[in-house]
Amino acid sequence: MTKLVFRDKIIKLDGVSLKNIGVSRSSKNVASAISGLNGKAVLDIGCGVGYMTIGALLSGAKSVVAIDICDTEKILRKNLRVNNIGQNRVVFYKSYLFERIPDDLKFDVIIANLPQHALPAKLESKKLEGKYGGYDGTDLVCRSLSEAFFYLNSGGRYFGSISELTNHRRTFLIADSLYDLKLKKTVVKKIKNDEMMPFLTEREFLDHLKKLKGAKMIDFSGDGVNFPIEYKVHYCQFNKKCVD
């Protein structure tokens, strides 16, 4: 059992270091961008073992629909118990993004901490499930932002991040068309040399990033020949635009 901070709350969690579904390095940064959860109906996309779900409920959210592509319900429910949260406040769906969420469910707040590394379109790199964000890194984030629009109540808010190691201009374009964007925080992150092993060699990974940088899709500092690579991640609040 690990104690973690979610904004001003302390959460106890089992499974924090589980591969792919545990709590990622970016989780605390996403959490720090979130506010105004009191009494809200929340959707947690990619809930994993429940860091955001439990953090949201302890911060006053009325209820959470928690979804994950992996069947994390058992460990999520255990973590709810440990934090003295009633099981009936959370509904879990094993779902690829919104695929299994009933159309008539609507939310005040959506939290999405999704994988977004740009990786070559090789079967091997797709095995990096906790990191794979598509060829230019935007597959999940852009789809999630687009579909979330239709699940948000009027005045609804979406919290997530946009990494400059992805085709971030594309994501900002899509986001701008649907949301008023509020940049909460920018963090410089580092990729280490063994991060994509054993599914991708350092050379394959660097060549891919260099190619995308050459096409002005992604941005990072460093020569692209050696690690570490440094890049920016923007933690944002997306306010649903009014449609009349």
Contact set with ligand SAM (CB under 6 A):
20-21, 23-24, 27, 45-48, 51-52, 67-70, 96-97, 113-115, 130, 140
Classify the C-alpha dihedral 206-212-216-219 as positive or negative: negative
Compute the least distance from the CB of residue 139 to ligand SAM, in Å: 9
The DSSP element (H or E) to which 3 belongs, if any, is strand 2-6
Q: Which is nearer to ligand SAM, 120 or 224 (CB)?
A: 120
Q: Which is nearer to ligand SAM, 67 or 162 (CB)?
A: 67
Report DSSP state, residue 71: -
Compute the least distance from the CB of residue 97 to ligand SAM, in Å: 5
Compute the least distance from the CB of residue 31 to ligand SAM, in Å: 8
Rounded to whole angstroms, the Cα distance separating 127 from 148 reads: 26
Q: Which is nearer to ligand SAM, 101 or 217 (CB)?
A: 101
Q: Which is nearer to ligand SAM, 16 or 175 (CB)?
A: 16
Compute the least distance from the CB of residue 96 to ligand SAM, in Å: 5
Compute the least distance from the CB of residue 212 to ligand SAM, in Å: 21
Rounded to whole angstroms, the Cα distance separating 44 from 29 reads: 15
> Which residue's C-beta sits nearest to ligand SAM?
46
Compute the least distance from the CB of residue 154 to ligand SAM, in Å: 25
Rounded to whole angstroms, the Cα distance separating 94 from 91 reads: 10
Rounded to whole angstroms, the Cα distance separating 69 from 159 reads: 19
Q: Which is nearer to ligand SAM, 17 or 243 (CB)?
A: 17
The end-to-end CA distance of the chain, in Å, is 48
Report DSSP state, residue 14: S
Rounded to whole angstroms, the Cα distance separating 130 from 133 reads: 9
Q: Which is nearer to ligand SAM, 3 or 216 (CB)?
A: 3
- Listing DSSP states for 154-173 in one string gives EEEEEEEEEETTS-HHHHHH
